[in-house]
Every structure is written in C-alpha cells, then in structure tokens.
Chains A and B, each alone.
Chain A
C-alpha cells in the first residue's frame, strides 16, 4: 500500500507496561500522543505514517503531469482539486507523525536523501490522458481499500487523519472512473488509450498492497498493535473482486489470462504481479524513481529561500511588536 514493507520494531520494555498497553488496544481505546507507548510502536508508526505521507506528496507528480494538458476546463479543475487534496493528505499525515516527536522537515529530508520510501506505484509514468482515469480508478481505489480500515487504527492522530482523508478520497476514485467511462465510450482511439492505461496500471496497482503475507514478516506485530488492519492478500483479493466487474462494465479487458471467478472462495483467481519488478522499483530502479525524487528535491531546494524569507520577516514583525509594547 502507500506504506509498503514497513518494518515493525521489536520492543524490549517493561512487560507489565506492555501488557497494559496491549490491553488498551485490544479494548479499542485510542492511544494519544502523551500516552505511554512502546518505543517500537512509536518508531513503526513514524515509519508507516511518514511513508504514507511521502506517498501522497510524491503521488502529486504523476497526476500533476497532466494538469496543464487536461482536455477541458472542467477536467483541469477537477484534476487540480484532486491533486491538491493529495497535498492535503500529505500535510495531515505529516502532522500526525509530528505528534510522535519527529518534525516534517526531518521526515522530508529522509525522503529526499532516500532514507525513507514512498509507494512503488508513483514510480510509473503517466503517458496519456487515460492514465488520469486509470490512476483515479485503480490507484485511488486501491488506496481507499487500505485507508478505510485504517480509520480504526489505534493511534488517535493517525486515525483522525485517515478519517479526514477518507472523506476527501471518495471523489478521487469516482472522477477517475468517470474519465475511464468517457474514454471507453469514446472514439476508437480513446478506447484504445483506456485499454492501454489499464494494461500498464493493472499489475503495479496489485503491487500496491505489498508482497504476499507469507513473505511479510512484519505484519503480525503491526496487526496486534492495530496499525495494520488487514493482510496484504486480503486487501488485494478485495480489490480484484471489486475492480474486475468495473472493468467489464467499461468493456475493457483486465490483462490477465488466468483471471477466473472461483465459486468456492467467492472471489477471483488472478495472476500475481511480477514481484522482482516490485523489488526493483522499491530499490530505486522503477521507470520514474529518478525523476520523482529529483522533482521533490528541486522543489525543496528552490523553495529554501522562500521558507527562510518568510521566517525572517515573521521574526522582524515579532521584534517590532515587542519594541512597540
């Protein structure tokens, strides 16, 4: 998902405190910033929320790529409002992380120098307008699948951020699907474009949920702490089951020959994505890793004088006010 492969930390703390902490979580209580929490819980959350926040921010870029080329004024406004929301999501999440004792600038620098990751999905290029449809439909669709249960996560500020985010997310997937509908019902060229977008985004979307649970060592602790609510495979299955009929409705073909409805499990059987590609992308070798990080670094570096300038002005104003008192 947006926080893929988050390593959860082992904890070596007072067993009594740990037990009491776990009991609170099991009872459905929220953990708040000033409450006692295991160091591992705090560190894992920083990593997970931070990675989620970075994903929202880097996630602005593939869609931002098309704002200046949107085909109508209304589409331009919708896409811009959507990408703006993602910036907001990043902002809410950084604020949630800040309650754990790390600053936004610190997190940002860890993103920019590669110490922290963001979701693999945003390292894929957006090549046609249909990609705006596919991203909203599939990528936001997959994200929502993960984010809805996270509203119930144990950490209060994270949970509240997710509630706000989910409220805003609801239009993202719909606007994407709406674009796909227009394309699928459009000219032959548009329909081809829509199919091509689905072909390119299908497997990367499946990868968003992270590798299969059998290979995921960190899930158990995180699920106990309720900072991970479902297994990767559960969510992936749910996503496929929801998405396949939507593709059929569009008259598009999911690029998977093995896709079959399985009556016994009440869900689709489907092909796994190529996990070696996933690991390549995570390692920094995706099609757009270099451009994405370069763009964020440039924004940060070019913006330094602005951040410093406004800060200096605020200090002058404060000093003048003090002097006047």
Chain B
C-alpha cells in the first residue's frame, strides 16, 4: 500500500463515519421524543454532515481523480464504504440512538484530539474544527445516557439493552489494521491502543454514573472500516441516500 492510497483509505474512514452517522441521526427529524431533542439531534446531524464534506472533500483531493465529496457519498456501493459497523446500526429506540452516539462520540473526541496534531496540516485543521463540535456532542450524549440510565426502571432497562446490543461494535474502533498502522507511522493517526485506554476511562465513568453495567465480553465484530463485510443495514441506507443521484445520472441539483 502506498502512503497516498493509505491516506485516501484513512480519509474515507473519517468521512464515511460522519456521513453514515449523520444520515442515521437525521432520520430522527420530526420524530424525536420532545421538541428540544429534535432540534438538538438535527444540530448533531448537521455538524456530522459538515465534517463529511470536509473529510470526503479532502479524500477526493488526495485521490486525485476528480471525485468530489458528493461523488464519493453518492456513487460508491457498500463494499467501498469504510465506516465503522457501529455507526451504520439502525437507530432503534431513542436510547439506542443515544448510546450509539455516546460510544462513537467518546471515540471520536479522543481521535480528533490526536488528529489536531497530525503531521498533515489539512487534517489537523479539519480535526480542530470538528473537535469543537464533537466536544459538545459527547457532552450532550453522555449526559443523556446518564440521565436515562439513572432514570426510571424502564429507561434503565432500555439503556442496558442498548449497551449490550452495541458493545460488540466498540472493539472495531480500536483494532488497528495496515491502514491505521501506516497512518500512525506517517505521524497522522494516533496509536489506537493508547486511545482505547482513554476511551475506557471516559466510558467507564459515564456508565458508572448511568448505573449501567459494561458487558464483560470483549468480542468485537469487524469488517466495517476495512469494507470487508458491512452489516446488511448499510445497503438499505444507501438505497435511500443515493437514490436520486442513481435514478437521474448527470443531473445537477
């Protein structure tokens, strides 16, 4: 793998995570439990879409074959997506959505923190901007997870169910592969093992306050960020997201 192609892959990972999660969160629009949450979820989704434009825009630039962020979002099929399995999981109930968000935010925050020191200035700049947004995302998602975990019996039960369901997708975030290692060697990406420690510290504190029990399984699903094997959910998401571009090729909107 050349450095350039590893960089392209890595940028796809960053951009596809925010693309797919932003899309998922936007599915809530008009259907949230309370107006204030509806508006807050939309803000999160908007931040993630904005980050996608930057990451995928840069990915297209690095690739150098003239593909824009939109081309990359709308004209790749499932196997070319490089997002984590976690973010493509369906919304489920509000608790599941917020648990997914909190787990991703905690990872995302640590990742972006390190990326602000990346040897590539373009990456450092995007990370710095995204970090401000994501700091707030984690603030909000963790507070909600805590509130619901330590709320009523029902909300506690639902949050524990969500955690149990999503926990197997946590490991993938921290399991380095050739791309991660190459990027780490290039002074761009952090050491994922060290990141995991910081993530665990954060998440343990949140879960304790939320009175939730971290599953003791370390089993990790994989195949999202490498694109080797996504879940079935992603394809259905893409049929919606890409439909107009696919049905009317060559049109501008």
Contact = CB atoms under 8 A, between A and B. Distances in A.
B26 A68 contact: yes
Contact of B146 (A183, A298, A304, A313): A313
B53 A73 contact: yes
Nearest to B42: A84
B151 A312 contact: yes
A87 interface: yes
Contact of B39 (A70, A84, A305): A84
Nearest to B250: A187
A73 B155 contact: no
Interface string B34-72: 111111001101100110110010000000000001100
Interface stretch (B111-119, B180-188, B214-222, B239-247): B239-247
A68 B91 CA distance: 13
A32 to B, nearest CB: 24
A72 B154 contact: no
Given A87-B35, A91-B35, A309 B52 contact: no
A90 to B, nearest CB: 6
Interface stretch (A75-83, A164-172, A216-224): A75-83
Contacts of B152: 305, 308-309, 312
Interface stretch (A10-18, A57-65, A145-153, A266-274): A57-65
A111 to B, nearest CB: 13
Majority secondary structure, B binding face: helix
A80 B49 contact: yes
Contact of A186 (B45, B50, B156, B251): B251
B202 interface: no
Contacts of B127: none
Interface string A306-323: 111111111010000000
A129 interface: yes
Interface string B14-37: 000001000100110111111111
Interface residues of A, dominant DSSP: helix
A198 to B, nearest CB: 17
B158 interface: yes
Interface string A164-193: 000000000000000100110011011000
A306 B39 contact: no
B31 A186 contact: no
Contacts of B26: 67-68, 76, 80
Contacts of B244: 69-71, 129
B37 A306 contact: yes
B148 interface: yes
B12 interface: no
B52 A80 contact: no
B174 interface: no
A299 interface: yes
Interface size on B, as a range, is 35 or more
Interface in A65-120: 67-77, 80-81, 83-84, 87-88, 90-91, 94
Contacts of A299: 30-33
Contact of A64 (B30, B52, B74): B30
Given A67-B29, A71-B253, A91-B39, A308 B151 contact: yes
B147 interface: yes
A23 to B, nearest CB: 37
A81 B30 contact: no
Contacts of B95: 306
A314 B251 contact: no
11 contacts: A80-B26, A88-B39, A186-B252, A187-B250, A302-B93, A304-B33, A306-B94, A308-B151, A309-B148, A310-B144, A313-B148
Given A67-B29, A73-B70, A84-B43, 5 more contacts: A69-B243, A71-B245, A87-B42, A88-B39, A309-B156
Interface of A: 57, 60-61, 64, 67-77, 80-81, 83-84, 87-88, 90-91, 94, 129, 179, 182-183, 186-187, 189-190, 295, 298-300, 302-314, 316
Interface of B: 19, 23, 26-27, 29-39, 42-43, 45-46, 49-50, 52-53, 56, 69-70, 73-74, 93-95, 144, 146-148, 150-152, 154-156, 158, 240-241, 243-245, 248, 250-253
